[in-house]
Structure formats: structure tokens, C-alpha cells
Structure 1
Amino acid sequence: MGRLLDISQRLDHQTAGWPGDTPFTYSLAWTKAESGSVNVGKFTMSTHIGTHIDAPYHFDNEGKRVIDLDPQLYVGVARVIHLHDCRTIGIGSFAGVDLEGVTRLLVRTGAWPDRSAFPKQIPPVEPELAAYLAAKGVRLLGLDLPSVDPLDSKELLAHHALTEHGVHILEGIVLDHIDAGDYELIALPLPLTEADGSPVRAVLRELT
């Protein structure tokens, strides 16, 4: 079997989250000295910090929660492509890119080089791309960005369009060290029954 390549952000006090959202913190609730046997930690964090998936409930009060999502979408063959210096991610971005038979598409933009700081702007997904990807058979779109929409968007048109066309969303992956090509993706969300999103430990396995 091929080696595993970690494409997850580290979670610590330096992890950059959305401005004003719950930052990541970790502390010990019990220490070994206090309990006599174990250290037991606790952490707080936003469901949308670091590498995470969005559930439709994130932007639709009637949308599916994390527990309702098909876990099989987050495990399987994925194609990594590189889009350099793009202002937006639209249909034209994929001219000449073969997406036939691709179920999981991971896009490296390189637009968030310093993950200790939240970006000031990103290349957003154009809503029209959703129907195009769905027609090709794509059901999961992953980006090395904190969102598929402009950072100041309130309408979240790309989020809605992708969901309407059955394309699920994986955000905040780290593809700096990943060559374009096909891999096996493993990025399972936690079985959170009420949540609007979930952190994931995303890895790619090299295909042999």
C-alpha cells in the first residue's frame, strides 16, 4: 500500500480561524498529579477552524447536519489539480482538465501560504461551477482555502449552488507538498448529530 500524506492543518493556539469565531484552545481538566493516574484534556474550537467539512445546516436551517452526510463521500479516489494565480475558480479554470469519472476533486490554489494568519482575500468559487462539476460526476470539492465563497459574502452563493447540485464541501486542506494526480482520500467527519460542520484528519494515500 502507498504511503500516507497528511493534508490537514495542525490544531493549536496558532491555528488561524475566522475573525471573531471560537479559537482553538487546549488545556488539562485533570493532571496526573491531581488524579493520581492520568492526564485528561479538553479543547474548544469552532466547527469551521482548520481542515473541516461543511454540512448544509451551516448555511441552511433546513439543511442536513453532519450525521446525515454519507461518509463514503469522504473516502475514495480523488484527483488533485493545481490552479495557480487564479482570481476566481470557475468553469474556465478547468479548460483542458479531464474530470470524467472524478468523484472527489481537490484544488490547490496556493492562495493561503501563511496558515498562522487568516487570509485577507481568496479566489472564490463561481456559483456556475457547481452545475458543471455535478455534470462531470464530482460529488466532493476540496480547497486549500477557508471558504468556497468570498470572505465577506453573506449570501454564500457558491455554498448553496454546490449543495443544490449534490457537491459536498471540504475546506482548509493543505496541498503545498502534493503533486497533481490521483490519490485515495480519507477525510472522515466526526459523527456529530447536531453540528453544522466537523473537523477532519485529512490524508491522501499514494496509489500503487
Structure 2
Amino acid sequence: MKYIDLTREINNSTQVCPCDRVPVVENYTTTEKEGVNVKFMKMGTHTATHIDAPHHYYREGKTLNDFPVEYFLGKGIVLDFRDKGEKYAITKEDIMAYAEPLKKVAFAILNTGWEKYYGTWDFFKHPYLTEEAAKALVDLGIRIVGTDGSSADAAFGFSTAQRVENPTFEEILENMDRENVRNEAHHMLLGNETLIVEYLCNLEALPKEEAFYSFLPLKILEADGSPVRAIAMVEKS
């Protein structure tokens, strides 16, 4: 078995959505002073490679803790959209081109090719799901949708957000192109208990055929989201 790590590191320069706080990772104790190394961390629940729960958008929606552990484990396939270009709206027809293999798996992994822009403001110009494409995935029985982009939805309005150090949520909303930061796909997916994993990486290493994936979250109180250690397990050829 071959194991492929699909997870971004959490550090003090981890790129996050402009409406989120950059994580803080610092030494709490060290072997030199206290005899042990311990890190102190402060970050949002949607930091780095993470999973969204329905509670992210719905007050009464399920938290991650409401799902059984096996919900985060399963077979998936890669949907290749690397040829689509920036700000491309993935259509229902694009999804249905993969309908037969999708019927056999629980996870759909969107390879938009946008991980190469991670760390730049162009990263937010990735292809995204239309509402109809998201519905097609729901109708096909997909349990988790993953993407190498910052969001399953259009997020390119963030690429023009005013650069403010440690902005408040309200400051970001005032400074970004709000019409081009959408949530239709999130509502369609999360509203039907199809979870979303964002900020994946190393998708080029994934096979075209189905593989086994793990997106296990932390067990956080009332978890609207959580960082995950995303991995793929592939049979060695």
C-alpha cells in the first residue's frame, strides 16, 4: 500500500481565507528551558486543509461530531479540471461526464490545478462548483467533496480584497468583491450532508482510478469545521 499526504502544514504563514485569522504557532515550552517541547496554537476551525460541517452555515445543522467516524473514510475518485482555467464554473455536464465511476464511490476529489498558486492572491481564482454541479454530486450519492482550491464555491472576489493586517471580518466584507464570493455550492452540499474538504494538495500524485481516502477531523466542541490530516491509500502497482 502507498500512502499519499494531501495536507498543508499549519504554520505562522499558512494562507487562509482573507476573512479568517492567520494561525499562531509558537513555543510554549522547550527542552532547553522546561525540559519538553510543547507548542501553543491559536487558529480558526477552517485553517489549512480542513473539512466543513453543515453547522458552518446552519445554526441547527449537524456538527462534525454528529457524524460517525466512518463517514470520513471511504473510496473516491479524482475529477480532473486542470484544463479549465481560472474562475471556471464547473457545470452539471462536467460532473456527469464522471457519473458512472462516481456512482461506485463516496468521495469526489476536484483537481483544479490551482494548488500551484497557493500562497498568492491568484489562489482564490480557482475553478468552482455551480449550484447545479453541486446538486449533481449530491444526487450521485457523494458523501464528501474535496478540492485543491480555497472553496467549493467561487472565491475569486477575495483576490482583490484590500490587504489589511489582522483585519476584522467586517473589514474584509467591506473591502472584497462580494458578488464573486459565493455560497450556492456550500448550501447545496452541506444542506444535504455532503461535507467539503478544502485546501488539499499533492493531487498530482493521485491515481485516476478509485482510491481509499481519510479525512478524519479533530473532535472539537460544536465543530463547524476542523483541520484534517488528509491522506490517500493506493494499491502499489
Query: What TM-score do the two structures reach when normalised by structure 2?
Result: 0.80
Q: CA distance change for structure 1 residues 56 and 96 in 2, over 3 Å: closer, same or farther?
A: closer
Mark the runs of 5 or more structure 2 residues left unpaired by the alignment. Answer: 156-177
Root-mean-square deviation over aligned CA pairs:
1.9
Q: CA distance change for structure 1 residues 162 and 44 in 2, over 3 Å: closer, same or farther?
A: same
Mark the runs of 5 or more structure 1 residues left unpaired by the alignment. Answer: none
Offset, 1:111: 2.4
Q: Deviations over 1:115-164 (max 9, x none)?
A: 22242422221112233222222111111111111224566111111123
SS in 2 for 1:73: helix
- Give runs of aligned pairs for residues 196-207 of structure 1, distance below 5 A: 196-207=224-235
Paired position in structure 2 for 1:68: 66
SS in 2 for 1:113: helix
SS in 1 for 2:131: coil
The amino acid that maps onto 2:233 is: R
| Distance in 2 between residues matched to 1:34 and 1:184, nearest whole Å | 43
Q: 1:137 aligns with which of 127, 131, 141?
A: 141
| Distance in 2 between residues matched to 1:91 and 1:164, nearest whole Å | 18
The amino acid that maps onto 2:136 is: Y
- Give runs of aligned pairs for residues 26-65 of structure 1, distance below 5 A: 26-35=25-34, 37-65=35-63
Paired position in structure 1 for 2:126: 122
Query: What TM-score do the two structures reach when normalised by structure 1?
Result: 0.90
Paired position in structure 1 for 2:187: 160
- Give runs of aligned pairs for residues 70-109 of structure 1, distance below 5 A: 70-86=68-84, 87-97=88-98, 98=100, 99-109=102-112
SS in 2 for 1:181: coil
| Distance in 2 between residues matched to 1:162 and 1:40, nearest whole Å | 38
- Give runs of aligned pairs for residues 162-201 of structure 1, distance below 5 A: 162-174=189-201, 175-201=203-229
In the comparison of the two structures, how many residue pairs are matched?
206
SS in 1 for 2:216: coil
Q: Deviations over 1:49-100 (max 9, x none)?
A: 2110001121122212221123212112111221123311221113432222
Larger displacement relative to structure 2 (187-196 or 24-33): 24-33
Paired position in structure 2 for 1:25: 24
2:116 pairs with 1:113: yes
Between Structure 1 and Structure 2, which shows a larger proportion of helix residues? 2
SS in 1 for 2:190: helix
The amino acid that maps onto 2:190 is: T
Give the conservation status (yes or no) of the 8 Å contact 1:16–1:115.
yes
| Distance in 1 between residues matched to 2:94 and 2:41, nearest whole Å | 39
| Distance in 2 between residues matched to 1:69 and 1:205, nearest whole Å | 22
Offset, 1:33: 3.0
Give the conservation status (yes or no) of the 8 Å contact 1:54–1:196.
yes
Q: Percent identity, please.
A: 29
Q: Deviations over 1:149-190 (max 9, x none)?
A: 122456611111112333111111111332322111011001
